[in-house]
């Protein structure tokens, strides 16, 4: 006779079953994540540099000093990945490029500076320089700017002084700076990335550039190989910096090296007097400020760059300057601009041609608007001291 037994519920057995079910669910979730990882998608994960780098099979090394990442791929070992971070840490833009990004900033304040005819010629050369250019200041230039790589960022003089007050003097009024002439702006060139980081934060390199010059192919001179070895590049052989053109690695240690000046910041940046801090100073003109070489950018870098690990490239033979025209006419060079290529009359390519002494000649040569527009439309012109701008076909015999 068959015997039937009634099984009573076992609480321990129920717990075991619940645990087993949880383990099974966990394993299923991991499998789903692995499948999702290996499948490219257009979701927000694509914005995460770690995910992007993982999928492209790159090995990543991070430099915490300047926020850049260098990568090597199995197929392209020398290719670099430059990571541009916004202030919002959740918004990270990753772009694989062969060259570091560069922006040049030209400070322009006042009606005269913004409406010069020569400014249009500078902008024309900037279009084909291979880098981005910002015209920073007030008012807006009176002519249209190219939409590709040259743009204007408005900033009134009072707004500029307010930013200096906030960033350098803890919100206090910076002495008599507000009453200074616009020429005082040159002292602040090396401080731009510190004062206005929002305008350069997406670039690997930034620099200041004057607009009384013509730019050549900047990329040809600032090669990726050179920039990987240095932190500051000066286009002259005997100085660490050059007011009309210097580029800096966009890192905190470089952007704040100005703080090592031996004078109080208020003595240099809180006065109406121009000190030429961006170069090597004007000791004879400003003895009352007790400004010596060690209180300028050039002197600061002489003393502190080796200790801080700042590597400086001093170039030679890549610029033309009309200052020699008044003393040695045999060395006086004219430059020819042809759609991005800037050469001397002997065919030697230049990074820039700086016409500091002959500004009046250059401006006067452009008073005929029709002639100037023809030069701009063709994208070719000759510039010399003291003749100014003229068509390329018109050569000195």
Q: What phi and psi values does residue 53 have, to the nearest 5 degrees?
A: -65, -35
The pTM score is 0.74
Q: What is the SS3 assignment for 171?
A: coil
Element (H, E) at 389: strand 388-390
Residue with tokens 């929002």: 198
| pLDDT of res. 104 | 99
Q: How would you write the pLDDT of the chain (397 residues) with one tens digit per residue? A: 444 334 445 555 555 565 666 666 565 555 444 444 333 333 333 333 222 222 223 333 323 333 343 433 333 332 332 333 333 332 222 333 579 999 999 999 999 999 999 999 999 999 999 999 999 999 999 999 987 999 999 999 999 999 999 999 999 999 999 999 999 999 999 999 999 999 999 999 999 999 999 999 999 999 999 999 999 999 999 899 999 999 999 999 999 999 999 899 999 999 999 999 999 876 444 455 556 788 899 999 999 999 999 999 999 889 998 888 877 777 788 999 998 999 998 899 999 999 988 888 899 999 999 999 999 999 999 999 888 999 997 554 4
Q: Are 349 and 342 in contact (CB under 8 A)?
A: yes
Question: Rounded to whole angstroms, how far apart are CA atoms 326 and 22?
Answer: 88
Long-range contacts of 367-371 (CB under 8 A, 24+ apart): 367/117
Q: Are 141 and 115 in contact (CB under 8 A)?
A: yes
| pLDDT of res. 318 | 93
Domains of the chain with CATH codes: 52-97 (no CATH), 102-317 (3.90.550), 321-390 (no CATH)
| pLDDT of res. 329 | 76
How many helices (DSSP H) and strands (DSSP E) are in the chain?
Answer: 13, 18
| pLDDT of res. 14 | 56
DSSP one-letter string for 80-149: EEEEEE-SSTT-EEEEEESS--EEEEEEEESHHHHT-HHHHHHHHHHHTSSSEEEEEEES--SSPPPTTT
| pLDDT of res. 66 | 39
Long-range contacts of 111-116 (CB under 8 A, 24+ apart): 111/139, 113/137, 113/182, 113/211, 114/138, 114/139, 114/140, 114/141, 114/142, 115/141, 115/142, 116/211, 116/363
List the beta bridge partners of residue 208.
Answer: 105, 246
Q: Which tokens hold the place of 115?
A: 């409406």
Q: Are 349 and 341 in contact (CB under 8 A)?
A: yes
Residue with tokens 């290719």: 79
């Amino acid at each position: 006779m068959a015997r039937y037994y009634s099984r009573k519920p076992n609480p321990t057995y129920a717990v075991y079953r619940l645990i087993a079910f949880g383990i099974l669910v966990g394993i299923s979730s991991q499998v789903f994540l692995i499948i999702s990882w290996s499948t490219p998608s257009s979701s927000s994960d694509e914005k995460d540099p770690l995910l992007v780098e993982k999928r492209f099979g790159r090995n990543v090394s991070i430099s915490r000093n300047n926020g850049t990442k260098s990568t090597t791929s199995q197929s392209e070992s020398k290719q670099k990945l430059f990571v541009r971070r916004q202030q919002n840490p959740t918004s990270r833009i990753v772009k694989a490029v062969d060259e570091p990004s560069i922006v040049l900033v030209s400070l322009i304040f006042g009606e005269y500076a913004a409406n010069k005819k020569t400014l249009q010629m500078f902008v024309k050369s900037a279009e084909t320089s291979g880098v981005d250019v910002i015209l920073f200041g007030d008012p807006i230039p009176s002519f249209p700017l190219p939409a590709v790589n040259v743009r204007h960022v408005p900033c009134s003089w009072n707004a500029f002084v307010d930013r200096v007050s906030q960033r350098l003097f803890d919100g206090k009024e910076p002495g008599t700076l507000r009453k200074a002439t616009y020429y005082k702006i040159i002292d602040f060139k090396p401080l731009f990335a510190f004062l206005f980081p929002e305008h350069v934060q997406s670039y690997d390199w930034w620099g200041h550039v004057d607009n009384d010059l013509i730019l050549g192919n900047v990329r040809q001179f600032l090669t990726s190989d050179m920039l990987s070895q240095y932190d500051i590049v000066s286009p002259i052989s005997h100085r660490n910096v050059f007011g009309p053109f210097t580029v800096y690695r966009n890192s905190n240690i470089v952007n704040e090296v100005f703080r090592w000046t031996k004078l109080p910041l208020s003595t240099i940046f809180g006065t109406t007097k121009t000190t030429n801090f961006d170069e090597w100073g004007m000791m004879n003109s400003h003895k009352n400020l007790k400004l010596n070489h060690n209180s300028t950018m050039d002197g600061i870098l002489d003393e502190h760059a080796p200790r801080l690990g700042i590597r400086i490239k001093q170039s030679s033979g890549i610029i033309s300057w009309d200052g020699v025209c008044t003393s040695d006419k045999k060395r006086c060079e004219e430059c020819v601009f042809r759609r991005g290529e800037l050469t001397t009359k002997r065919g030697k390519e230049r990074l820039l041609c700086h016409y500091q002494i002959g500004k009046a000649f250059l401006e006067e040569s452009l008073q005929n608007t029709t002639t100037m527009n023809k030069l701009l439309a063709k994208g070719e012109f000759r510039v010399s001291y003291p003749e100014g701008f003229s068509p390329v076909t018109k050569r000195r015999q």
